[in-house]
Amino acid sequence: MTEGITTPGAGWRRADGPPAQKRQKRRRRRGGGRPGGEVAMVEEAEFTSYYGRPIIKPPVWKTPDVPLYLFLGGAAGSSSIMAALTDLTDRPALTRNARYVSGGAAIASVVFLVHDLGRPERFLHMLRVIKPTSPLSIGSYILAPFSAAAGATAAVELLGWFPRLKRFGGVVAALFGGPLATYTGVLFSNTAVPSWHAAYKELPFVFGASGMAAGGGITMALSPIEEAGPSRKMAVAGAAIELAAMHRVETGFGIVSEPYHEGKAGRLLRAAKSCTAAGAALTVVAGRRRAGAVAAGALLAAGSLLTRFGVFEAGMASARDPKYTVVPQRERLAARGNGPAPSVTR
C-alpha cells in the first residue's frame, strides 16, 4: 500500500522536473562516471519536494490583473502628487491632464483588482476590519479613499464644477498617492516568496520610482511642452531611482536574485531596463520637443509596465522552485554554526 510513497525516487521529485528514477536513468545512459573510471557512490544532490509540489504555496494572484493593478496604481499615485503641486504653480493644462491620468488609472486599477479577487464584494469585505500589521489591510484603506478622491477630482475637472472642491479632492488624493505607489512593494516583500521577501527594503523604492517614471512620462506626453517641466523632472528622477534600486534587487541577494535574470522574468526585466533608460535619455535630450516628449513618455510607461510584470514573474518562479527556499535556509543555519554550508547542484 505504501510502496509508491516510501520507495526512494517513486514519489519525490523536483518541483519543475521528472521523478528521480527517470533522472537517474538518463545520467546512466550518458555514462556519467567520473574521470579515470571512478564511479560516484553517492547520487548527485537534488532539491526535491513531495510529488513535485512547491515547498511554499505560490500566491494565487493572477496575471495580467495584478501586474496591471501595480502599474496603474503607481502611475495614479505619482500623477496625483503632480496635479496637486502644479495646481499651486499655475500650470492649468498639466494640472488637468495629471488629474485625468490619476483618476482614470485609479478607477482602472480597482477594476483589475476586483477582477483578480473574483467577486466585487470581496473588496468590500477587506474594508470591514483594519489590521495595522497587514500590508494588504492597510493597502485597502489607502486604495479606497485615494480612488474615491482621484476619481471625483477627475470628474469635477471634466465637468468644470466646484473649483474649490476640485482642489480639495486633489490634495486628498495627493496625500494618499505616495503610499499607494509604494505599499504594493511592502505587500510583495511581506510574503514568503523568496525573491520578493529578500528585497524587502528595495521593492518599495522600485515600485515608487517606477510609478514616478510612468506618471511623469504619461503627463509629459499629454501636456504642452512649456508646462511639462515638472513632469520631465519627475520622469528622469523616477527612472534613475528605479534603475539603481532594481540593480540592487537583481544582484544583491545571492541565489534568490537568479529568477530576475532567467526565463520569462529575465526577458521582461531586460526589456524594462532598456525602455526606462532610453526614455530617460530621450527626455533629457529631446523632451522639450513634441515628438521627443511623446516618444519618451511612451518608453517610460512601457518600462514601468514591464518592470511590474518582470518582478511578478520572478517571484512566482522562485516560489515554484524548492531551491530558492532550501538554499537560503541552509545558508542561515550555516552562518549560525548549526549546520554545513549548502551545496548547490542541479
Q: Residue ranges per domain, the chain? A: 64-322
Question: What per-residue confidence (pLDDT) applies to 35?
Answer: 52
* Interval 118-129: pLDDT, tens: 888 888 888 888
The C-alpha atoms of residue 170 and residue 161 are separated, in whole angstroms, by 14
Compute the chain's Rg from CA coordinates: 24
Residue with grid cell 464644477, as numbered in its chain: 161
Question: What per-residue confidence (pLDDT) applies to 41?
Answer: 61
Q: Which helix (H) or strand (E) holds 246?
A: helix 229-251
11 against 234, higher pLDDT: 234
* Interval 303-342: pLDDT, tens: 999 999 999 999 999 999 888 988 888 888 888 876 555 5
Residue with grid cell 521529485, as numbered in its chain: 13
Closest-CA residue to 143 (of 106, 99, 168, 112): 106
**Residue 43 — very low, low, confident or very high, per pLDDT cuts 50/70/90?**
low
The C-alpha atoms of residue 7 and residue 14 are separated, in whole angstroms, by 16
Question: What per-residue confidence (pLDDT) applies to 56?
Answer: 84
**Residue 10 — very low, low, confident or very high, per pLDDT cuts 50/70/90?**
very low
Region of 254 please: left (phi>0), alpha (psi -120 to 50) or beta: left
Is 294:207 a contact under the CB 8 Å cutoff? no
Give yes or no for residue 6 having a pLDDT over 80. no
Of the listed ranges 80-84, 125-129, 188-192, 334-338, the least confidently predicted one is: 334-338
pTM for this one? 0.81
The C-alpha atoms of residue 75 and residue 109 are separated, in whole angstroms, by 10
In sign, the C-alpha dihedral spanning 314, 318, 323, 326 is positive
The C-alpha atoms of residue 229 and residue 89 are separated, in whole angstroms, by 11
The C-alpha atoms of residue 261 and residue 141 are separated, in whole angstroms, by 34
**Local structure of 47: helix, strand or coil:** coil
Give yes or no for residue 32 having a pLDDT over 80. no
Q: What is the mean pLDDT of residues 280-284?
A: 97
CATH architecture, domain defined by 64-322: Up-down Bundle (1.20)
Is 258:211 a contact under the CB 8 Å cutoff? no
CA neighbours closer than 13 Å in the CB half-sphere of residue 52: 6
Please enumerate in sequence order all residues whose Cβ is within 8 A of that of 232, keeping only pairs 6 or more positions apart, or say none: 216, 220, 283, 287, 288, 293
Beta strands in the chain (DSSP E): 12-13, 49-50
Closest-CA residue to 142 (of 100, 202, 182, 112): 182
Give yes or no for residue 12 having a pLDDT over 60. no
312 against 51, higher pLDDT: 312
